[in-house]
Structure 1
Amino acid sequence: MNKRGWVLFALMSVIWGIPYLMIKVVVDGGVSVPVLVFARTAVGAVVLLPLALRGGRLRGLHRYWKPLVGFAALEIVVPWWLLSDAELVLTSSMTGLLIAASPIISLLVARLIGSGERIGAGRWAGLAVGIAGVAVLAAPELRGGSPWAVAEVLLAAVCYAIAPIIAARGLADVPALPVTAVCLGLAALVYTPPAVLTWPDAMPDGQVLAALAGLALVCTALGFLVFFALIREVGTSRALVFTYVNPAVAVAAGVALLGEPLTWPIVVSFGLILVGSVLATAGRSGDAPPSGKPAAVPSAQV
């Protein structure tokens, strides 16, 4: 990977490692989940749609409306609600670690639907190690009265596992930028009524507004643009390696900036989930050739 690729990789590791921190600041600041998700999706759509309109990239996209709706629902509409609602209870670092199990869940989902992908002994070992890491992390919360919040994060991970399958089967011929722009626009429309109904009576404080702006402009709009640039530079498979770094960023940000505890279960579970994800996803198909049109729209997992 060249210097530009490493820079983009580092940016992505941070940009999509800090949303959990910002979500925690926003929901703890009294902003409702619908308003939070509406702000993210609406601003992201406003930034990306004009770029997608260049050169007629949206032309003919209506023919793909069914997979577009399905992908938007499972990549943005449902998981962004679940993650934000879960952080009303969970710490940002725990949420970031739990969602890191997405590659493991993706492999299980692919196996269940009969994707034809062979799972050898090493990958089965990775699944077992990763699941053990999730168990170590979730056990205290399950005993402490937060089982639904843990379930919400794991359900979001399931959504992130299914969404790329929809993209691969129904959107493989469509460039990623217009797909993302349209999906963000659809999600913003879905969240408009509940956001209006739960709009805050008073202006949130500056810290909350800054976190909300960071989520919308940096983690969503800029994040997708950098992600597409990274895919063009190094290919889809290599681009997705940054998802192994995101949990470390999420934990570091939560501990350093929010004073969240760094416990032994968190450290152990991080190691188990990371090792399990690497083993479980080893040996998959190689990189797609760097281009502006990857074979499928990858999952953002933020």
Structure 2
Amino acid sequence: MTRRGWVLFTLMAFLWGIPYLMIKVAVEGVSTPVLVFARTAVGAAILLPLALRRGGLRPLVPYWRPLLAFAVIEIVVPWWLLADAERHLTSSLTGLLIAASPIVGVVVARLTGAGEQLGTVRWVGLGVGLVGVVVLAGPGLTGGDPWAIVEVLVVAVCYATAPQIAARKLADVPSLPMTAACLGFAALVYAVPAGLTWPSALPSTPVLAALAGLALFCTALAFLVFFALIREVGTSRALVFTYVCPAVAVTAGVLLLAEPLTVAIVVSFVLILAGSVLATAARKAKQEQPVPAVPA
């Protein structure tokens, strides 16, 4: 993987590893609809003026169907499920379960004929990473809330499916207006539910800070980096950053929320990170397949 690819990979691991901590803090003070609405509305408010300045939203019109599908699968459904699940699960366990996304992504790519070929080393990397997730999440699965765990696993499927839509159906769509439009649509979906469950008093400072961080960094900035990463390294390889996100999520949970740090966590960290390196290993030139690009 290129140096730029590694920079984007590392940045995404942080930007989508830290949200679990912020969501855990935010759900203590606001409802799920308010959380999702705040995140999407602020993100759209930041990105929409930039998109309009760079050509507007008109180029999106021919792609409204895949755009709608992407918005629903990447934002509308999973962000509700994540927030609802974290009312019952630790931020660490939530982040760990999301690490199933790269495995699901490989299956989706194969079933839909995305064309990304995986060599032996990358298959081994995916396997090692999955073992790390199982070692760490296994004990939590037996003691956690079953429905909340199902919600997070559905999120993992969504996060594995949406990039395939972006890579195959939205390859000619500029990422900035696309992201702004998707966030704006999601904000409209949640506007009424948020209004009906709006807090009667101003939330605490930590809750407000968590909402701001989710909107500014984990949403507006993260989506731009996400599309750049897909263009740089391909869909299946890009999704492997979710193997590192659990390490970020657990570290943040342990340091800031006093969530438990066990031997299993340490061992799993090693497996997850090793799997990430192997799964993102470069293939020989003759084995490379063209990857649909998402213009920045």
**What residue in structure 1 maps to residue 294 of structure 2?**
296
Q: CA deviation at 1:182?
A: 0.4
Q: How far apart, in 2, do the equivalents of 1:163 and 1:121 lie?
A: 25
8 Å contact 2:40–2:186 — kept in the other structure? yes
Query: Superposition pairs for residues 134-173 of structure 1, below 5 Å?
Result: 134-173=133-172
More deviation, 68-77/234-243: 234-243
**Which ranges in structure 2 are unaligned for 5 or more consecutive residues?**
none
Q: How far apart, in 2, do the equivalents of 1:17 and 1:287 lie?
A: 29
SS at match of 1:235: helix
8 Å contact 1:130–1:272 — kept in the other structure? yes
- Relative to structure 1, the CA distance from residue 130 to residue 218 in structure 2 (aligned partners, 3 Å threshold; closer, same or farther) is closer
- The superposition leaves residues 69-126 of structure 1 with CA deviations (integer Å, 9 ceiling, x where unpaired) of 0000111111111111111111112222221231122112222334444445444444
Q: How far apart, in 2, do the equivalents of 1:121 and 1:225 lie?
A: 31
**What residue in structure 2 maps to residue 235 of structure 1?**
232
Q: CA deviation at 1:56?
A: 1.8
Query: Superposition pairs for residues 39-188 of structure 1, below 5 Å?
Result: 39-188=38-187
**What residue in structure 1 maps to residue 26 of structure 2?**
26
Q: CA deviation at 1:172?
A: 0.7
Q: How far apart, in 2, do the equivalents of 1:239 and 1:158 lie?
A: 15
- Relative to structure 1, the CA distance from residue 57 to residue 236 in structure 2 (aligned partners, 3 Å threshold; closer, same or farther) is farther
Alpha-carbon RMSD? 3.2
More deviation, 92-101/124-133: 124-133
- The superposition leaves residues 11-48 of structure 1 with CA deviations (integer Å, 9 ceiling, x where unpaired) of 54433321111100011x23111110100000000000
TM-score (norm: length of structure 2): 0.84
SS at match of 2:58: coil
More deviation, 123-132/210-219: 123-132
TM-score (norm: length of structure 1): 0.82
The count of corresponding residues between Structure 1 and Structure 2 is: 290
SS at match of 1:158: helix
Amino acid at match of 2:54: G
- The superposition leaves residues 221-243 of structure 1 with CA deviations (integer Å, 9 ceiling, x where unpaired) of 23334556x659x9345977754
8 Å contact 2:102–2:240 — kept in the other structure? no
**Identity %, equivalent residues:** 69
**What residue in structure 2 maps to residue 189 of structure 1?**
188
8 Å contact 1:103–1:281 — kept in the other structure? no
8 Å contact 1:103–1:277 — kept in the other structure? no
Q: How far apart, in 2, do the equivalents of 1:130 and 1:194 lie?
A: 38
**What residue in structure 2 maps to residue 16 of structure 1?**
16
8 Å contact 1:127–1:277 — kept in the other structure? yes
**Which ranges in structure 1 are unaligned for 5 or more consecutive residues?**
none
8 Å contact 1:13–1:243 — kept in the other structure? yes
8 Å contact 1:105–1:158 — kept in the other structure? yes
- Relative to structure 1, the CA distance from residue 122 to residue 222 in structure 2 (aligned partners, 3 Å threshold; closer, same or farther) is closer
